Chains A and B, each alone.
Chain A
Amino acid sequence: MSADLAIETHGMSREFSGVTAVDQVDLAITTGSIYGFLGPNGCGKSTSIRMLTGLLTPSAGEIKVLGENLFGAEERIRRRIGYMTQKFSLYDNLSVLENLEFVARIYGLKRSERRSRLAELLSLYELAGREKQLAGSMSGGQKQRLALAAATLHRPELLFLDEPTSAVDPENRREFWERLFDLCDQGTTILVSTHYMDEAERCHGLAILERGIKRADGSPQQLMDAMNAQVIEVAGEDLRSLKQALVKLPEVLSAAQIGSRLRVLVDRKIADPKRWLTPQVAQRSLISVPPSLEDVFVTCTGGDRHVA
């Protein structure tokens, strides 16, 4: 057990009446980092987070959170973690201030401490002036900031965020990530689940999950470097039929149209993919480009041939 791991799991699994939602997941998440779970809906992201917060009992495997075995120490660990649920879980018929006061009292903050902490959070999360507004009448972005304020009120060492930006517009998402980096800067370890590539790219470390299985783990750069494919973009006419022809080749892992280009992932075994591809694409032009996280995702999950 390394001291600088905030989360460590071995063979973490969970079944729901015969269906395996999470299958033998090993995690080692460094303290002070932002770690992402990337995967489609139903890949086991939420189930994993619920097991790590002690809400679900794993069917098998070991979980260590903040250096302690989770099982049996849930209550002690819960004081040190924060959890922002996927669905807004504060009270719609309480005001911003009333919601935060409730959470502060639950965490045992005394009156003076409470007042200063709430004032701090209200200004930090730009909720000042809205203290009396009912939470139910706020916009998606405001609700999300309120939920983050509530989840971080007791200054948790470890923060879980389950698809925090699913109800938020892109601009608010950028802002939200700035706040996450601020928290990270203060030493908070953050585990965030997402199905957005751009969000995943911001994480220090990343696990790609598919059908409960961890397909890849590492920093975005490591994942891109270790990808078993090279990316060639083809420009020209009639890309739809070219795509149909290319995906039939076993060396082509995926072909997806992006605007007026076709992005082709060629197996790494091919030494010079550009030359190899030239006879296949007739007169069209070829250009070799660096891989993106989406390419990693596509090659990891193998969802290319039937999806794209």
Chain B
Amino acid sequence: MLLRIWAVVVKELRQLSRDRMTFGMIVMIPLVQLMLFGYAINTDARHLPAGVVNLSDSAYAPRIVAAMQASQVVDFKFNYASLKEAEAAITKGEVKSVLYLPPDLAERLVRHPSASGGQYLAQPVGQWLVDGSDTVVAATIKTLRQMPLYDVMDLPPIDTVPSFEVVQYFNPEQRSVVNIVPGLLGVILTMTMVMFTSAAIVREREQGNMEFLITTPVRPMELMVGKIMPYVLVGLIQVTIVLGAGHVLFDVPFRGGIDSMALASLLFICASLTLGLVISTIAKTQLQSMQLTIFILLPSILLSGFMFPYEAMPMAAQWIAEALPATHFMRMSRAIVLRDAEVMDLSLDALWLLGFTAIGLLVASLRFSKRLD
């Protein structure tokens, strides 16, 4: 039995080494994706293009604009004469937001609590018009709502004590890339691992190797195990590339133990590979297997917690997410890499991946019949 598994492993490794394209993809996919997402994905919006409609002649108006500009959240690029023009500019997409300063700006400033100490019925001094279709942009502009004005008016600062202090663990500078890289690991592994094995059985069938193979004594389980073993190694190489390059290029810390990370990766790699194998026993052609891979890949990116927090999703979506190996790995890899957790702290996710692998192997073996009918 071991000899037959070994036979399949050696065969797969030799075929893999002949396939330059696949060989190149093993290294290039993680590197390129890491660069792309590492630089591109950023949830802290900065330098949003903005415009101003200034209807007041107050001397404070330019100072308010300068203070906003200094916050780096917005970049004032245009002046508009009227609200109508400003709205048209937002519709066109010229700017994401417009600061409206009304004609009675000076009076409003005087009555504002930061100047008057709260003895008048307060009104906001101005208005932000925002393209709210993108929630990230809208949320960012909202942070300007409470911008203090004492600086602008040369008044002494008022000491306001926040109701709560927030201490940010693990990522004090709030850099998105720190959270992205360990998550990206899950996405890249899902993509490559499922893709490599989803074609494994179909390819043999399409190229006519299967008819010979099934008249030999090789058992379905031996064939399945032999087919995924070489790719376990490939997966571990990719983990090393992503985490290594993430550390060097993006200064992502690696706080957890290498052993915990290796174990978590191993579990996820095996789960993804068996998922690919199951696809391979369902698909009739290599094209179908590719389509099914994408069908798995998209929810793995969007529902696994890689892009959006798992907790924010509705219950039904969370159930779907729970079914995907990527969700469990995303949790584990972030916990280990960023929070120095141990696999033992994450035993539920680990057990789930283990169970998924076992059931997947069983299903693939049962679905793989050594018959042609």
Chain A interface (Cβ within 8 Å of chain B)?
50, 53-57, 74-75, 78-79, 81-83, 85, 87-94, 98, 101-103, 105-108, 134, 150
A-B contact count (CB 8 A): 79
A93 to B12, CA, bound (A): 11
A55-B215, A94-B11, A94-B14 given as contacts; is B208 within 8 A of A87 (CB)? yes
A98-B11, A102-B7, A102-B11 given as contacts; is B217 within 8 A of A53 (CB)? no
Expressed in whole angstroms, the minimum distance between the Cβ of A145 and any Cβ of chain B is 15
A94 contacts B373, C-beta separation under 8 Å: no
Expressed in whole angstroms, the minimum distance between the Cβ of B200 and any Cβ of chain A is 13
Sample of 28 A–B contacts (CB below 8 Å): A50-B372, A54-B370, A54-B371, A55-B214, A55-B370, A56-B371, A56-B372, A78-B216, A78-B217, A82-B215, A83-B212, A83-B215, A85-B212, A87-B208, A87-B211, A89-B209, A89-B213, A93-B15, A102-B10, A102-B11, A103-B216, A105-B3, A105-B6, A105-B7, A105-B10, A106-B216, A106-B217, A107-B216
A89-B208, A108-B4 given as contacts; is B217 within 8 A of A75 (CB)? yes
Which interface residue of A50, A75, A106 has the most chain B CB atoms within 10 A? A106
Which interface residue of B4, B8, B212, B372 has the most chain A CB atoms within 10 A? B212
Chain B interface (Cβ within 8 Å of chain A)?
3-4, 6-8, 10-11, 14-15, 18-19, 207-218, 370-373
A79 contacts B211, C-beta separation under 8 Å: no
List, in ascending order, chain A residues with CB within 8 A of B11's CB: 91, 94, 98, 102
List, in ascending order, chain B residues with CB within 8 A of A74's CB: 370
A102-B10, A105-B4 given as contacts; is B212 within 8 A of A89 (CB)? yes
B372 contacts A55, C-beta separation under 8 Å: yes
A102 to B373, CA, bound (A): 26
A55 contacts B6, C-beta separation under 8 Å: no
B4 contacts A106, C-beta separation under 8 Å: yes
Expressed in whole angstroms, the minimum distance between the Cβ of B359 and any Cβ of chain A is 24
A90 to B215, CA, bound (A): 13
A108-B4, A108-B217 given as contacts; is B10 within 8 A of A55 (CB)? no
Expressed in whole angstroms, the minimum distance between the Cβ of B364 and any Cβ of chain A is 19
> Which 7 A-B residue pairs are closest in the complex by CB-CB distance?
A105-B7, A89-B212, A83-B215, A87-B208, A93-B18, A102-B11, A55-B372
Q: Which residue of A56, A90, A101, A105 contacts B212 across the interface (Cβ within 8 Å)?
A: A90
Q: Which residue of B208, B217, B371 contacts A107 across the interface (Cβ within 8 Å)?
A: B217
List, in ascending order, chain B residues with CB within 8 A of A81's CB: 215
List, in ascending order, chain A residues with CB within 8 A of B216's CB: 78, 103, 106-107
A74 to B10, CA, bound (A): 26
List, in ascending order, chain B residues with CB within 8 A of A88's CB: 208
List, in ascending order, chain B residues with CB within 8 A of A83's CB: 211-212, 215
